A and B are shown apart, each in its own frame.
Chain A
Amino acid sequence: MVEHVGTYGHIAWLWIRAAWQYPTSFVLLAVGNGLITGLDFVGLWIMFSHLERLAGFSLHEVALLYGSASLALGIADTVIGSVERIGTYIRTGRLDQMLTKPVPLLVQVCADQFTLRRLGRITQAAVVFGWACTYVEWTPLRAIVALSMILSGAVVFFGLFVGFSSIQFWTIDATEFANAFTYGGATVTQYPLSIFPKEVLVALTFVIPVAFVNWYPCLYLLGRTDPAGMPEAFQFVSPLAAVLSVALALLVWRSGVRHYTSTGS
């Protein structure tokens, strides 16, 4: 496991080095990425020019939700790299070539064309999150929960994207179908989940566990009782959700690779 992370790191570093040959282009892309993802927050800000509270949450509180989710997504995005393009790799024969290398396929696909462009989003999200954090009443436990939230959130998103991208091993046509869950899941975390009826919240807790990315931990950070009356324990188990999510994703991935090598293209 550790050696795989090492290999990933080596590959990623080489891509960073190559991109750094063109520093202006690199900076422009990162800034562009930051601005584009920042538009999401501008949208939220515009919303709040019309109201004080959205589903009972103030701008600072929504900013905490938005910032943490965006940060987690940005980190996950950077790590998963080209996983969403699996279908293209299959079509061009690149996947077969990757299979002839002594590195696990997932590591290769994630590290391929590694780019730090997402730093734009990560920076922008960190600023929003940092600003929102100044309104939180901090305790040592809350600090731990906040850190665990960001890391677990990134892992949950990682599992979500890898798991759904694996569908491309079976069919390339239905990629859009996956987007409903991956990008839909990411969109949902920008809002307080109390905007949804309880059934949807249950689905977002037990089926697509994005509620653990930021919603439950933030309830604890903000000292709020759960509007839907969910168990308070949920606010602390994001790491568990992360582990389950990634374990499931790896199962689906492995199954996908097996399907691919068993049926050919």
Chain B
Amino acid sequence: MNAIAFTSADTAPTPAANRAPAVKIGLDNLDFYYGRTHALKGVSLGFNDGEITAIIGPSGCGKSTLLRTINRIFELYPGQRATGTITLDGRNILEPAFSLSELRARVGMVFQKPTPFSLSIHDNVAFALRHYERLSRAEERERVETSLRQAALWDEVKDKLNVSALALSGGQQQRLCIARALAVRPEVVLLDEPTSALDPISTAKIEELLVEQAANFTFIIVTHNLQQAARLAHRTAFLLDGQLVEIGDREQIFVNPQNSRTRDYVTGRFG
């Protein structure tokens, strides 16, 4: 049972611009509680702008929980709370004073299960757009097209934008959800196991679009698929029992982990 078949012939990418990537989102000593259950314990790490960062770990390790703190979607449920700091471009978003509306405009989210709204394809994508910006019909159509292209869905739906989104296949619906999230031009996009419910072809399409768009956004993707993390991510964070064990680039995490627990997980000794 080998993990990721990498040889050192697969070179790590050399950045064209030789400067340290900027930290877009920083977590500092983040703790999270479901009622009395302590789900995240003192997590500190940074997500770089223009990169895809993957979060991996066994079931129940807190990776989805961590994702859900970044856009404060957990606030929907009483009894769930976070302490510590999460900064977006240096400003702490956990402060009540930080506008939820601004946060969610700048940090988008795609969920595991595709959830199209009971609206047309066009209206799905334009939904949040209409709330945030005042656009003319033509501008709106242009933005919808751009997002659908970014989500690699345009060619398949361009003739049926007025059709209900519920008529699309699972893979198409998920790409629609991605287009919907991208339409608002967020700076960060959180993806919670976006392809785990999809077939391999849809998965491949979505991975492709993530790679293509990586430089335009900060993608943070939670996945239980180690191969996917290795394929996509510039850096990968390994979480275990609510704690950050290790974070590094693919060479480090998948080939030469510094922590024995990381090696155990990545080589499949537990998971």
Q: Say if A and B assemble together.
A: no
On A, residues with C-beta under 8 Å from B are: none
**Which B residues have a C-beta under 8 Å from some C-beta of A?**
none
